[in-house]
Structure 1
Amino acid sequence: MEYFIPKSAVIFEEEIKKSRFITYVHHTEGLAQAKSFWQEIKALHPNARHHCWAAVAAQPNNSQEFGFSDDGEPAGTAGKPMLNALLGSGIGEISAVVVRYYGGILLGTGGLVRAYGNGVQQALNQLEVVLKVERGRYLLDCDYAQANWIAQLCEKYNVVINAQDFQANVRFEFGVSDDKLASFRRELTDRSAGRLILKAIE
């Protein structure tokens, strides 16, 4: 699976009716990391009234790794619109924390939804991303004579050589994306007359 992840952190700040909203967007891998990022921002702003957060902490379609909190704002006015903005971006492994310094003027539920959702959207507009390709890990043992054409095959199928060990024969450790696995395995089998076996590393 391929998806975009944040390349670097972004901060966006605005004032709405005397309340200060500071949005932090960051790369986080997994909900545990997302929650510790939230704790970091809370420690940075101990006097703020609210520290709301949302995360799409793994693949963009993995709902097990979604999370959000309104942190004292009326239910549904902060975390959910923030999460919706993240989901709309299609980016994975991403967290947003919005810090609010209350300015004394109530914004109403609609105003809060707009403030929190828009803060994340504005931060996303500034965000640089990189493509992440998820790859399974595989081992392959081959003769020295086969190593060259196997390396060429890796280029053809965008297979990453994570490690290679030259002993009595050659041992490769590969990173192979799911969509290339069947073709890569088939060509290895065909060209070696069935002698080369790709073994998955659990």
Structure 2
Amino acid sequence: MSYPIPAKITEQTYEVKKSKFIACASFANSREQAMEQLALIKLQYPDARHHCWAYLLGNPDSPASVAMSDDGEPSGTAGKPILNVLQHKGIGDIMLVVTRYFGGIKLGAGGLVRAYSNSAQQVIEALPIQEQIVLLPLHLLSDFKHEQFIRHLTNQHHGVIDECEYAEMVRIQVSLPDAEIPAFIASCHKVGIQVIQS
């Protein structure tokens, strides 16, 4: 359930026939976040002619969403080559923008595809990555006396407490890495904590 994601924003510049391609790869796990990255890059390079991009959200083996844009370049010459690089790198939750400054020499469709591919490739090669651990939710129903035990147990199993509701009993929602769930549930059952899996 875990997969590699960008660890930090990384930028690389690539030049071909006086055209400058500035590739920027960053973490994004929603379309909104990806579009925010694009907006920041447009502010950084306001005089650039094109800001072409592609993103891949979620697990790279079965992405939740992918999208791309040629941003005024001939159809299929920018967004698609960038996305193609992303789809072969096995990195999830990634937004990749390639900003182009035109150098006065036309590259032709084939030249553009190569330039955007190479630019995307270079930034991916320089990109530091880290593991994204997918957390799964569990709902617990417990006596008040077990609340501290649940908090300690969640921490021990690399999870997080999402929310707590206090009524006659305590309702706690936790999120845990998939691999930790069986041992966590076993510990809860030992002391009589009810576990409701979502």
TM-fit CA distance, 1:36: 2.2
Question: Which residue does the alignment assign to 1:160?
Answer: 159
1:196 corresponds, among 169, 193, 198, to: 193
- Give the 5 Å matches for 1:126-137: 126-137=126-137
Question: Which residue does the alignment assign to 1:67?
Answer: 67
- The SS at the match of 1:51 is strand
TM-fit CA distance, 1:103: 0.9
Q: Which deviates more, 140-149 or 79-88?
A: 140-149
Q: Is the contact between residue 162 and residue 175 of structure 2 (CA under 8 Å) also seen in structure 1?
A: no
Q: Is the contact between residue 159 and residue 177 of structure 2 (CA under 8 Å) also seen in structure 1?
A: no
Distance 2:48 2:151 in 1: 58
1:55 aligns with 2:19: no
TM-fit CA distance, 1:15: 1.2
- The SS at the match of 2:58 is coil
Work out the number of aligned pairs and report it.
Answer: 195
TM-fit CA distance, 1:186: 5.0
Q: Is the contact between residue 154 and residue 176 of structure 2 (CA under 8 Å) also seen in structure 1?
A: no
Q: Which deviates more, 18-27 or 30-39?
A: 30-39
CA 1:153–1:52 in 2, change beyond 3 Å: closer, same or farther?
Answer: closer
TM-fit CA distance, 1:138: 2.6
Percent of pairs with identical residues: 34
Q: Which deviates more, 95-104 or 141-150?
A: 141-150
Specify the code of the residue in structure 2 equivalent to 1:22: I
CA 1:49–1:143 in 2, change beyond 3 Å: closer, same or farther?
Answer: closer
TM-fit CA distance, 1:54: 0.6
Consecutive unaligned residues of structure 1, counting only runs of 5 or more, are none
Distance 1:81 1:18 in 2: 20
TM-fit CA distance, 1:5: 1.3
Distance 1:163 1:42 in 2: 35
Specify the code of the residue in structure 2 equivalent to 1:29: N
Q: Is the contact between residue 57 and residue 63 of structure 2 (CA under 8 Å) also seen in structure 1?
A: no
Specify the code of the residue in structure 2 equivalent to 1:198: V
CA 1:150–1:70 in 2, change beyond 3 Å: closer, same or farther?
Answer: closer
Question: Which residue does the alignment assign to 1:5?
Answer: 5
- The SS at the match of 1:111 is helix
TM-fit CA distance, 1:127: 0.9
- The SS at the match of 1:32 is helix
Consecutive unaligned residues of structure 2, counting only runs of 5 or more, are none
- Give the 5 Å matches for 1:1-202: 1-140=1-140, 141=142, 144=145, 151=152, 155=156, 158-162=157-161, 173-182=173-182, 184-186=184-186, 188-189=188-189, 191-192=190-191, 195-200=192-197
CA 1:26–1:38 in 2, change beyond 3 Å: closer, same or farther?
Answer: same
Residues 72-94 of structure 1: CA deviation (Å, up to 9, x unaligned): 11111110110111121111111
Residues 87-144 of structure 1: CA deviation (Å, up to 9, x unaligned): 2111111111111111111112221111111111111111111111111233432575
**What TM-score do you get using the length of structure 1 for normalisation?**
0.80
TM-fit CA distance, 1:175: 1.9
- The SS at the match of 1:110 is helix
Distance 2:64 2:10 in 1: 25
